[in-house]
Amino acid sequence: MPAQYTMARFWRCALQVNPSGYQARYRGSDHGLSEADYNQQLLDQCFARGIRVVGLADHGNVDALDGLRNFLEPQGIVVFPGFEIASSEKIHMVCLFPEGTTRDQLNRYLGKLDLTQVQDTVAPSRKTCLDLAQTIFDLGGFWYAAHMTGSNGLLRLNQDGGGLSHVWKDEMLVKAGQIPGPTTDLPVNYRDIILNRNPDYRRVHPIAVLNAKDVAKPEDLAVPGATCWIKMTRPGFEGFVTAFKDPESRIRLGQLPEAHYSRIEQINFHGGYLDGIAIALSAHLNTVIGGRGTGKSTLIECLRYALDLPPRAATARRQHEDIVKANLGAGGRIELSICSHAQNGRGYLISRRYGEPPVVKDDDGQMSTLQPHDLLPRIEIYGQNEIFELARDPASQTAILNRFMPSGIALTGELHAVGRRLAENREKLLAAARQKDDLQAQVARLPKLMEQVQQFQSLGLEDKLALVPKLERERQLSLRASEEMDRVAEGLSVLEGNLPDTAFLSEKALEGMPHADILGRIRHALDTLRTQIAQQLVNLRTLHGESNVAIRAQQTELNARLAEESASLEKVFANLPAFAGKPGRDVGRAYQELLREIETIRPGEARMATVDRLLEELEAQRRNLLDEFAQVRDRRSDELRTAVKKLNRKLDGKLRLNLKIGGQRRALKELLLQLPGLGEKKLAWIDQSSDELTIPALVKAIREGESALKTLTYDWGMQNSVVEALARLDRGRVLELEEIDLQDRILIELNVAHQGEIFKPLDQLSTGQQCTAILHLLLLDNDDPLIMDQPEDNLDNAFIAERIVTQLREAKTERQFLFATHNANIPVFGDAEWIGIFSASEAQAQMSPDAQGSIDVPQIRERVANILEGGREAFSQRKEKYGF
């Protein structure tokens, strides 16, 4: 048993155990065990089954009680002493009393029950069931209707025409009853009564049902239906009785379901304002309370810091940094023990010291390469007023729905990948277009240059300088040879960088693999390929080097020859007669430069065709990428449609969702706002236009020109200045526009009626109603925790109690929640398994173990009522449940 009890958890309880002599006395047979052996085997069964609470209930007799109790209690088993009796209607009742109630007290209690035959312990009382019930409660005990489906059970007697429906429907005195197994195994007539479906036995609140069995021999404890689970902070009678006032939350039959979701299990602070605070969280609903300024928000922001999840908004981020620095600075650190669903339920320790990155260790204490976001990829943390900000951000609202999409993360990754490829394609397209423009500009000069050549030729220089164009062509061919050699060298480097790497098939990697021999042969084949290609690469590099040497030698000789020819030309130039007042030498050199320029440009004519082919390929690639982009978006929309249908079923009567394809248009507006002369007012048409506004339609109109854009002004409401600005868009902007992803938008409507249905759109709701709508979504399916600071901010108390807490009670069995709150409805109505109460003394936060627990602990209950806003009111609404 743990030394400290700081959270409510389910304890396994056997609530109808009998002492050693019961078998022989009432069953007519002997189990063959001495009292000592019986007690020991009973204890062994308790340990084997994890039973921590035992109710002793012999028929009308407590004489043998102490022998068993004194054996169990020193071993950590909590014992509720009591007895079983029958009412005048012969309804069997198991009556249990607080641990520590003595045998003499119990005998005095039996004396007040008006039993007809004291010596006959199974004889009924003269009192009715309800009279006995009142007496038991007055004595500080608790009773439940034993084996209700048996011959002397409350259900059987009712169904046999006993006229006992008034007993069943008395909610003040009839709290609980025992059935032999799960509710689903009951006959329909019994099941309808227990589930409150039979109008003749209708109760305001269904009766609490439990599993128990008349344990007469130790092995009876192993029988299904012999035990049940009761949620208590510390196993004890007060917590036990409290559980039956909220059985929906606190009583479970059969086996407890395993928690297949992530959890923060332990939080420890070292240094700073929260120094020394240690918290063991429940896997379900956790709430932090305390006066203002005691540390609630500090705890949430420090959790953010440890998990490296700062707020998105700049203002909230600065506030977060200030809080963390003020409360965790100067060497403080926080440690979190977590269980990660993303890592198949493994445990990890996350530690972060102020000013340093988080450190992650696995459950063996070894440093891990994983980061907090790898362990809790979908954890959600919201500080004060962040829900309000979320209610105003359509993109964030749609993002919430990603968790309901089987391929949500994968589709987002695909879209980003296609988007990157589109951006790369755009850069290549623009570069190729610029190259084509440059080539066209150069080639466009050729006619003028050729005309100048003709002028020189008309001077009779063509024959005298016939060698000049040939020499210039040779120079260009030599340069082209060097380019070819460079391309070969680059190709060899690329090949070398892509040789097979077989590290992934190492001996260690294959150790224990069932088909390691086959994988080993694959590795051998890859190694052989790598070795042989590497050998060939050596040969190819040698060949390349030898060829390079040979080519350079020839180029050296060519350059020498060209130099000689140039020198000879200088003599020719010198002998040229003067033309138009210019020396012949200058005329010859001008002619030579003109021909050199022509020869430099002439290859551009051939490259134009190559660039045109490249542009065609890039444009075809872009068309395919845009089609792929559209297909992925369509798949995302299809999954969102399915998710919306699923959510509408889950949120029936609370929230209604509709999907607007391409409804998020902020990205389009942000791009157009970069254009001169376009402001928010001129771009209002983007949000106001019909569903027909799509990126492909807009791009098509832009490419077709201003007249096509003007045809859209009526449908989309564009001003003429916008049409003119769009018509002037350069090619790069149009391509950017083409890549915009107008994500789908979720249109949210909240049922604002307390009874019936009146749905209103999100933009027509008050701030509190908007936040309520968002909270409905946040509380739904997620394998990682939801952590919130004061979720009740801006919320209406009625919505919290009627809507949010109801949904929270359902969700907390499949997800962990941690709320810092001032509102009593969340821990009280939500039946929080852990409530931590902050206080402050001398600039230091405090939360001792006795300030942690659940509402079944009297001191926790009292402090909740005193601290929380509306606390007493919340308790008064549950007076029956909590005793106020």
pLDDT digits (tens, 9 = 90+) for 6-37: 999 999 999 999 999 888 888 778 888 999 99
The closest of 100, 136, 882 to 145, measured between CA atoms, is 136
Q: Say yes or no: 609 and 721 in one domain.
A: no
Q: Say yes or no: 698 and 588 in one domain.
A: no
pLDDT digits (tens, 9 = 90+) for 794-825: 776 667 777 788 888 989 999 999 999 888 88
Q: Which of 252, 268, 291 is the last residue of a domain?
A: 252
Mean pLDDT of the chain: 88
Q: Say yes or no: 692 and 553 in one domain.
A: no
What pLDDT shows up at residue 118? 67
pLDDT bucket at 563, cuts 50 / 70 / 90: confident
Q: Which of 197, 226, 252 is the last residue of a domain?
A: 252
What pLDDT shows up at residue 387? 83
pLDDT digits (tens, 9 = 90+) for 85-142: 999 988 999 999 999 999 999 999 999 999 877 677 788 999 999 999 999 999 999 9
Q: Say yes or no: 557 and 699 in one domain.
A: no
Residue 275 confidence (pLDDT) above 50: yes
Q: Is 3 inside a domain boundary? A: no
Asked if residue 229 lies in contact with residue 212, where contact means CB atoms within 8 angstroms, the answer is no
Residue count of the chain: 884
What pLDDT shows up at residue 834? 97
CATH number at residue 212: 3.20.20.140
pLDDT bucket at 156, cuts 50 / 70 / 90: confident
In angstroms, rounded to a whole number, what is the distance separating the alpha carbons of residues 421 and 441?
30
In angstroms, rounded to a whole number, what is the distance separating the alpha carbons of residues 280 and 265?
6
Q: Is 554 inside a domain boundary? A: yes
pLDDT bucket at 1, cuts 50 / 70 / 90: very low
Q: Say yes or no: 66 and 206 in one domain.
A: yes
Q: Say yes or no: 512 and 592 in one domain.
A: yes
Between the CA atoms of 765, 771, 773 and 775, what dihedral angle is there, to the nearest 10 degrees?
180
The mean per-residue pLDDT over the stretch 788-793 comes to 84
Q: Say yes or no: 176 and 66 in one domain.
A: yes
Residue 575 confidence (pLDDT) above 70: no
Share of the chain above pLDDT 70, in %: 94
Q: Is 470 inside a domain boundary? A: yes
Highest mean pLDDT among 410-414, 555-559, 873-877: 555-559
What pLDDT shows up at residue 418? 95
> For strand 844-846 and strand 58-59, is the pairing parallel, antiparallel, or unpaired?
unpaired
Q: Say yes or no: 725 and 621 in one domain.
A: no
What pLDDT shows up at residue 638? 92
pLDDT digits (tens, 9 = 90+) for 717-768: 888 889 999 999 999 999 999 999 998 888 999 998 878 899 999 889 888 8
- Total number of domains in the chain: 3
Q: Say yes or no: 604 and 714 in one domain.
A: no
Helix (H) / strand (E) element for 201: namely none
Tell me the HSE value of 306 on the side-chain side, using a 13 A CA sphere: 28
3-state helix, strand, coil in the chain (%, to 5): 50, 15, 35
- Compute φ and ψ for 233, nearest 5 degrees: -75, -60
pLDDT digits (tens, 9 = 90+) for 388-430: 888 888 888 888 877 777 777 788 889 999 999 999 999 999 9
Tokens 């604002």 -> residue: 752
pLDDT digits (tens, 9 = 90+) for 206-257: 999 999 999 999 999 999 899 999 999 999 999 999 999 999 999 999 999 8
Tokens 């396994």 -> residue: 12
pLDDT digits (tens, 9 = 90+) for 315-357: 888 889 999 998 887 788 999 999 999 999 999 999 999 999 9
Q: Is 578 inside a domain boundary? A: yes
Highest mean pLDDT among 176-180, 639-643, 720-724, 726-730: 176-180
b/e code 509-531 from CB counts within 10 Å (16+ = b): ebeeeeeeeeeeeebeebeeeee
Residue 881 confidence (pLDDT) above 50: no
Q: Is 752 inside a domain boundary? A: no
pLDDT bucket at 687, cuts 50 / 70 / 90: confident
What pLDDT shows up at residue 605? 73
Q: Say yes or no: 144 and 245 in one domain.
A: yes
DSSP string, 535-585: HHHHHHHHHHHHHHHHHHHHHHHHHHHHHHHHHHHHHHHHHSPPBTTB-HH
b/e code 610-639 from CB counts within 10 Å (16+ = b): ebeebbeebeebbeebbebbeebbebbbeb
Q: Which of 691, 723, 742 is the last residue of a domain?
A: 742
How far does CA 620 lie from the centroid of its chain?
39
- Compute φ and ψ for 475, nearest 5 degrees: -60, -45
Q: Say yes or no: 584 and 678 in one domain.
A: no
Q: Say yes or no: 458 and 520 in one domain.
A: yes
Residue 2 confidence (pLDDT) above 50: no
pLDDT digits (tens, 9 = 90+) for 509-556: 899 999 999 999 999 999 999 999 999 999 999 999 999 999 999 999
Q: In the 3-class helix/strand/coil scheme, how is 377-445 assigned residue by residue?
A: CCCEEECCCHHHHHHCCHHHHHHHHHHHCCCHHHHHHHHHHHHHHHHHHHHHHHHHHHHHHHHHHHHCC
The closest of 865, 860, 859, 863 to 878, measured between CA atoms, is 865
Specify the pTM.
0.78
Tokens 């070795």 -> residue: 531
Parent domain of 139:
9-252
In terms of Cβ atoms closer than 10 Å to its own Cβ (0-12, 13-18, 19+), residue 540 is middle
